[in-house]
Structure 1
Amino acid sequence: MDSWLRFSAQSQSKERLFRAAQYACTLLGYTLQKGGAAAELRKTVSQLEAHMSLTRKLMRLGNSVEALEAAKRAIHLSDSVLRLCLTISHLNRAMYFACDNVLWAGKTGLISKLDQHKWSQRSFRYYLFALILNLTRDVYELRLLMESEARYRATKSSPSTTQPEEQLITPATPVNAALPFVSLWLRRQLHLLVTVLYSNPPLLLDLLKNSCDIFIPLDRLGIYPTGSGFVGACGLASSVLSILTMIHPWLKLKP
């Protein structure tokens, strides 16, 4: 098992490079179509994208094992919210990879008469649910850090200067009179958000990566169609961020 996990970890970096190339081809194909490029050139780019996708599916064979191992580790986390989000997310990733493996077998002809559209939609549904859980985890950790930062700032402030808007706004306060305090509260929250994200690059990168990735299954499932150009840009951006976390492991969000 350990040897397989080491092999899987090595193949992940190559898979990410192919993923970046695949979505770069998607974005290039959209650009060529909008620019009125020759049909032969667009066909070549489309075929290259398909080959990249098939190669990635080959590299992901057996990734379900790694996802299941990650789920086994996550189930022992002490934080109940993180335990729930990460465990179910890894289980959905395992199902996504399993469906992807079946789809690869169908595309290569190992499984004849496979309904590729059905299996593709099924895999994207698992992928979407995993991303939703990952984003939930990111927002949860962000909220915890913002609360911690707010408490730290409160300890450095005098009682007379803490939370003036809460002291002054009452149910009887006119709406026009409350607006300046609401605006002040929003500015403080925004500044708090920027401060927390700036001081926690792993959380920022993970939030950006998952936010980019989620548009891919939303488009493929027809829930929120955005077009191949936007999907290509999002996929390329998230791939670059993933590669960055592999080059600099300290940027990977833990656990």
Structure 2
Amino acid sequence: MSSAASQVILHPTVSQSLKVLGTTLGRDKLYRAAQYFARFLAWYLISRGHKIEGARWNALKSHLALARKLMRLGKPIEHLQAALRAAQVAAEPGEQITTICRQLGYFGYLTYDTLVWANAIKFFNFKPSTAGKISKNANRFWLTGILFSITHGLLKAGRLANEVKKLQGAHLIEKGQDADRDAKLRTLFNARDSTRHQFIIDLLDVWIPASNLGYTNLNDGVLGIFGLITSLMAFRQQWLAVNSK
């Protein structure tokens, strides 16, 4: 029995899971996946008349959302630093501008989101009208950040496609140049895959702030599924990043 327990507890997958959950980003993405699954399930149950069960999942969704806001305290500064770093490096102008604007959008979103959290825990007591404006501004900045991220993805994907085409069409004769080209192509393919991955996440996530602002009327079931998918995609990305070290 003890041998079987040891095999389970010390299994590499368990160790890898603990490693990922030891990071703030890993925990956040797992909590986010649970939050949006709860959002979907609450909608599903309530839409079928199971209000008591639905209320339980709604409560879980709300508490996870609040917990994640606490985990993100201080994160606006990370995005502000990223914007400043992007402004200081030489890069393709369109990609550089969209990167800076994306980071500033997330900075604004998380700054206002901190005020939403402070009001929710009664640290500040804003008037309902003020609290509503703060929440709307948070969603506006969130939407802005995602839209710039989508634009950045399109620009970067186009540039990478052109660079791949040039390399694949190049006729290299000198010894060793073929190996250099293959290495550059692998780097470009990896960058392209990463860009596509983020682009898919953005295309799904953009509907959440858009719906919060009333620009679309997608129900909680659809938004819950979108959020669950992007959370799992981001969690998998973090898993690969942490366990490849």
Q: Identify whether the pair has TM-score above 0.5, normalized to the shorter chain.
A: yes
Q: Deviations over 1:197-243 (max 9, x none)?
A: 89832122111111111011111111122111111111111111111
Q: Does 1:47 align with 2:59?
A: yes
Alpha carbons of 1:133 and 1:43: their partners in 2 closer, same or farther (altered >3 Å)?
same
Q: Does 1:16 align with 2:12?
A: no
Q: Which residue of 1 aligns with 2:161?
A: 146
Identity of aligned residues (%): 22
Q: Which residue of 2 aligns with 1:63?
A: 75
Q: Which residue of 1 aligns with 2:231?
A: 239
Q: Which has the larger radius of gyration?
A: 1
Return 145-154 or 211-220, whichever deviates more: 145-154
Counterpart CA distance in 2 for 1:144 and 1:201 is: 13
Counterpart CA distance in 2 for 1:236 and 1:61 is: 23
Matches for 1:210-229 after TM superposition, within 5 Å: 210-229=202-221
Q: Does 1:131 align with 2:131?
A: no
Give the Å deviation of 1:145: 2.1
Give the Å deviation of 1:249: 2.4
Counterpart CA distance in 2 for 1:74 and 1:204 is: 20
Please tell me whether the aligned partners of residues 25 and 238 of structure 2 are also in contact (alpha carbons under 8 angstroms): no
Q: Does 1:203 align with 2:216?
A: no
Counterpart CA distance in 1 for 2:163 and 2:152 is: 17
Give the Å deviation of 1:13: 1.9
Counterpart CA distance in 2 for 1:66 and 1:145 is: 27
Give the Å deviation of 1:75: 1.0
Q: Which residue of 2 aligns with 1:117?
A: 132
Q: Which residue of 1 aligns with 2:120?
A: 107
Please tell me whether the aligned partners of residues 54 and 104 of structure 1 are also in contact (alpha carbons under 8 angstroms): yes
When the two chains are superposed, the root-mean-square deviation of aligned CA atoms in Å is 2.3
Letter matched to residue 201 of structure 1 = D
Moved over 6 A (4+): 196-199
Alpha carbons of 1:209 and 1:197: their partners in 2 closer, same or farther (altered >3 Å)?
farther
